[in-house]
Amino acid sequence: MASRIKAIGALRPRIQLGKTVQKAELVRSLARATSLNEGSVDLVIKELRDQIIEYHRTGRAVKIEGLGTWTPNMALDGALDVQYRADGAIISGLNTAGLFTGDVVNRENIGKSGDELTTLWNEQHPEDPVAD
């Protein structure tokens, strides 16, 4: 018997990710969009990273309006990590109707509930129904 999580995970709509934008490509794009040269853009990115690390080492979160908030976290074993929460402008810009041009896997299932996806799974996989 399949788990509900397996069924929903297989049928839920999700973005088919393209090739990850690497730093060099981003630096070139930012340099073209601004009056900065690539070396300056690269330096600013590195300095921003280093400043975030320094603030985190003192237990402080870093909020950059328009980008988001980076917050230091600690696991039970004491390992440090960083949580990132995107600024509302990024979420809003991403959700502007009609502007997403990426590929969506299972696009036909947008708006369906977990129960509907489970029913669909059971119809498609009678040999492996979701366990109740």
What string of DSSP letters covers the chain?
-B-HHHHHHHHS-EEE--PPPPHHHHHHHHHHHSS--HHHHHHHHHHHHHHHHHHHHTT--EEETTTEEEEEEE-TTS-EEEEEEE-HHHHHHHTSTT---SEEETGGGTT--HHHHHHHHHHH-TTSPBP-
pLDDT tens-place string over residues 72-96: 999 999 999 999 999 999 999 999 9
pLDDT tens-place string over residues 4-60: 999 999 999 999 999 999 999 999 999 999 999 999 999 999 999 999 999 999 999
pTM, two decimal places: 0.81
> pLDDT value at position 131?
84
